[in-house]
Structure 1
Amino acid sequence: MNVSHAVNELFFSYAEMFYGGLGRFTGGRARLAVRADAAPVFCRARPLPYALRERVDAELDAMLRAGVIEPVECSDWATPLVIVNKSDGAIRICADYKVTLNRVLSVDKYPVPKIDDLLSQLGGSKFFSKIDLSQAYNQI
C-alpha cells in the first residue's frame, strides 16, 4: 500500500473529522480545579478601540452561535479580553486568564515533556504530519 492510498483511506474512514468546521466534544463537561480558598476575581474590561468594536461584536456573535461561549446573567468572575490581529486580517478574541483564573487553579503536577526530548525520539522517522487545529486556543 502506498502512502497516498493510506492517507486517502484514513481520510475517508474519518471524514467527519475533516469537514472544516469547529468540532465539539460531547464526552463530558470540562471541569477546572479551583482551589478551595480561592475568592472570585473580577477584572474590568480593557479599553477597546472604536474601530474594532464592530468586528469584535461580529466575532462574539459567531462564537455564541457556535456554542464556544454562552451568555450569563451575572458573575463574580470576569476576565479581560485581548484582541489579536490575525495574519489574514481577521481578529482573534482571547481572554487574559493569567490575571484572574490561572492564579487560583490547582495545577496538575504532571511534567510536560521537553521539546528536545520529543524531537530526539523522531530520529529515523520517514513521515511527518502537521496538524492545525481550528481555533486551537479554545481547545481544552
Structure 2
Amino acid sequence: MRAILKRHRNGFLGDGIAAPAPARGAVCDLNMGDAQPITLRPRSISPHVAVKMYEHLKKLLENNLIEHSESQWASPNVIVLKKNGVANGMCIAYRLMNNFIQLSSYPLPLINNLLVGFEKTLWFMSLEMASGFWQLG
C-alpha cells in the first residue's frame, strides 16, 4: 500500500485545491443549438470570501485547470469554504444553461464488461485524489 501511494504521490496535494496538471485528450463540446447566450450577474459575496475566491481562481489558473474566457455565456459561482476557512471548491450554477444543452446519445459501457478484467483481483481500493470532485454538472 505504501509503495502504491508513494508511486502516485503526485496525485495528492495538501490543500486539495488543484492537481498538478489537468488530464489531456478528452474534449467536451456542449451543443447549445440556436439558443441565445445567457449572461447572469455574479452573486454578491463578502470581501473576506472574495479574497478566498481570488486565491482559489489564481491557483486554478496556475495549475491550468481553468483558463480565461470571453464567452457570452456566464453563470454565477459560489466558493465553498472548509470549516477552517480554506477554499475547498467552487460551484457554478449552470441550471439555466442545462435547459439548452442538446444531449448526445453516447452509450455508457456495461458494468459486466468492465468487471471482466477484475475477476482474479483480491483487493479493491478507492482513494480521492487531488480535487477528485471536478465534474461538469
TM-score by length of 2: 0.67
Equivalence for 1:82: 78
CA distance in 2, matches of 1:79, 1:67: 20
Equivalence for 1:60: 57
**SS of residue matched to 2:74:** coil
Q: Percent identity?
A: 21
1:34 pairs with 2:31: yes
Q: Which entry has the higher C-alpha Rg, 1 or 2?
A: 1
Residues 33, 101 of structure 2: 8 Å contact kept? no
Q: Give the counterpart of 1:103 among 99, 115, 133.
A: 99
RMSD (CA atoms): 3.3
Equivalence for 1:135: 131
Q: In structure 1, what residue type is equivalent to 2:53?
A: V
Cα offset for 1:78? 0.4
Task: Give the gaps of 5 or more residues in structure 1.
Answer: 114-124
Moved segments of 4+, more than 6 Å: none
Task: Give the gaps of 5 or more residues in structure 2.
Answer: 14-18, 111-120
Higher RCO (C-alpha 8 Å, min separation 6): 2
Equivalence for 1:121: none
Cα offset for 1:59? 0.8
**SS of residue matched to 1:47:** coil
TM-score by length of 1: 0.66
**SS of residue matched to 2:59:** helix
Residues 22, 65 of structure 2: 8 Å contact kept? no
Cα offset for 1:84? 1.2
Cα offset for 1:46? 0.6
Cα offset for 1:112? 9.2
CA distance in 2, matches of 1:18, 1:139: 22
Q: In structure 2, what residue type is equivalent to 1:34?
A: N
